[in-house]
Amino acid sequence: MTEIDERQNRDFEAAAFRRLVAHLRERTDVQNIDLMNLAGFCRNCLANWYREAADAAGVDLGKEEAREIIYGMPYSDWQAKHQTEASDAKLTEFQAKRPKDH
């Protein structure tokens, strides 16, 4: 197995994260509820995890600031441009699978 040091590992994780965020910004057709129902996380989860990491490092980052980092725009703008109404079936599935922290 290839030897990867801590710095390289952090750099590779960061690159993968940036690629995931860029992919999600491009795939505005994929709704957060779809992500939650399929994978158990969404763009808001990523923003929360980012904010938690910032808090752990002593950086005060607000919820909306973290969301803007993930969405690439204010969350309210993303909602207005891209969010669609969730069907009753999607909402029911979400409620059945919903993690305790959502």
Euclidean distance between CA atoms 31 and 9, whole angstroms: 30
Average pLDDT of the residues of the chain:
95
Pseudo-torsion of CA 63, 66, 72, 78, nearest 10°? -20
Cα distances (angstroms) measured from residue 20 to each of 14, 37, 38, 46: 10, 18, 16, 10
| Mean pLDDT value across residues 78-102 | 88
Q: Which two tokens stand for residue 90?
A: 């999607």
Please calculate the CA angle 39-44-48 and round it to the nearest 5 degrees.
Answer: 110
- pLDDT band at residue 102 using 50, 70 and 90 as cut-offs: low
* Domain-wise residue ranges, the chain: 6-97
- What are the pLDDT digits (tens) for 41-73? 999 999 999 999 999 999 999 999 999 999 999
- Architecture of the domain made up of 6-97: Orthogonal Bundle (1.10)
Give residue 13's pLDDT: 97
| Contact yes or no for 69/44 (Cβ under 8 A) | no
- Output the six-digit token pair for 81: 């441009």
**Residue range 17-21: mean pLDDT, rounded:** 98
Band of the pLDDT at 101, cuts 50, 70, 90? low
